[in-house]
Amino acid sequence: MGGSQSTTGGAQRDVDWERRLEQQRNPSGNPSVIQSVMKYIFLSSLFVTSAFLILKVFHYTSFGTFVLDPKAASVMSIVGLGPTQQSAYPVSAIGPYVSTQFSEIKQVAYTVSFDVYLGSSLNNGAYRVVFYNGNKTGTDTQGKYLTSQGDSAVTPTAIATIHSAVTANSGNICVYIDPVVNDMYVSYYCGTAMEATGSSGSTAPLGSLGWQTSKPIKNIPLGTPFRVTLAVDPNFIETYINGELLLTTKTSGVTELYAYPGSPPTNFFGSPEFSTSCRTGNFNYWDAILPPKSIQIYSSSPASKNVYAF
């Protein structure tokens, strides 16, 4: 009997001893909940921070900026990962057919920005081409393939002949203004889904090629310069005026902007001579599609009217 009581008393002392040790380790009395919460907070913070840094680098690699402050150009600067920018004629109008002479121009997936000055809404029935690209293999005025003079002249009153001349010289985009009213259109040369991968990296179209034209941007400014920015993706083109997105045009069906085989050395050119009362200049080119915030920062203000006024 006495032995039994001694054994019971010893067991109780062991239990009391362990309880006192546990209280010394965790005086709050509820260690499991607090430890779990702290562990959850730590792991969650680690995950969110890692995800933010990964997305930040990915966004900068793709678009060149990661803007948190609307007035900031970029929060971070990673050498070699941002888009390459080139500029031409920043304080003067470009001459008819003259090349911007940018190097290594891409046929798709880029951003280009330029000033337009329209002195009159009338142009004697001729379309006013304010922007186009094409093959540049020789002189500074290679863009003269769009001339209305000579044996291979285009007909300025027929947009189809203008389009044909552009495609004959490996061009795939043309921005023009209506002959009678101050409405602007963006047209682009497209093909159906590409062979194998269906990406713009392939050069063999499975179906027909043809020009597609956007809805008009009506009542563009007269008598004052305005800035046009094009974000050119294989499947859509965004058109901004003075930093404001006014038009998003998607290629129809399964088509995409056509990339010519062999990556010919294309460039951008000054308006042809039949685009009267119209001047362009202050060109900027980025070899990536900029996000809207960057376009608002970099491409919202045209040059002074004195640069372009007739």
Q: Which distant-in-sequence residues (6+ apart) come within 8 Å of 278 by Cβ?
A: 116, 117, 118, 119, 123, 128, 130, 177, 271
Q: Looking at the domain covering 85-308, what would its CATH class be? A: mainly beta
Higher-pLDDT residue of 95, 36: 95
For position 72, what pLDDT does the model report?
30
222-244 average pLDDT score: 95
Distance (Å, whole) CA 261 – CA 107: 11
For position 11, what pLDDT does the model report?
62
- 3-state SS assignment for residue 295: helix
Distance (Å, whole) CA 223 – CA 301: 15
- 3-state SS assignment for residue 67: coil
pTM exceeds 0.85, yes or no: no
CA distances for 132 relative to 34, 44, 175, angstroms = 66, 51, 6
Tell whether the model's pLDDT for residue 78 goes beyond 60. no
For position 69, what pLDDT does the model report?
32
Distance (Å, whole) CA 150 – CA 241: 35
Q: 108-145 burial string, b = 16+ CB within 10 Å, else e?
A: bebbbbbbbbbeebebeebbbbbbbbbbbeeeebbbbb
Tokens 């209506």 identify what position? Answer: 178
Q: Residue 166 has what DSSP assignment?
A: H
Higher-pLDDT residue of 167, 46: 167
Q: If pLDDT is split at 50, 70 and 90, which confidence band does 120 have?
A: confident
- Of these ranges, 73-87, 199-213, 284-298, the one predicted with the greatest mean pLDDT is 284-298
Distance (Å, whole) CA 97 – CA 186: 19
Q: Could you report the per-residue pLDDT of 155-213, keeping only the tens digit for each?
A: 999 999 999 999 988 899 999 999 988 999 999 999 865 544 445 554 555 556 799 99
Half-sphere exposure of 86 (CA within 13 A, CB side): 16
Q: If pLDDT is split at 50, 70 and 90, which confidence band does 145 have?
A: confident
Fill in the amino acid letter for 160: A
Is residue 294 within 8 A of residue 85, CB to CB? The reply is: no
For position 83, what pLDDT does the model report?
83
| Least confident span in 72-81, 106-115, 184-193 | 72-81
> Can you read off the two tokens belonging to residue 111?
């951003």
Please report, rounded to a whole number, the percentage of residues in the chain having pLDDT higher than 70. 71
Extract the runs of DSSP E, i.e. beta strands, from 141-205.
173-177, 184-191
Higher-pLDDT residue of 42, 235: 235
Write the burial class of residue 84 (CB in 10 Å: 0-12 exposed, 13-18 middle, 19+ buried).
middle
Q: If pLDDT is split at 50, 70 and 90, which confidence band does 47 have?
A: confident
Higher-pLDDT residue of 122, 23: 122
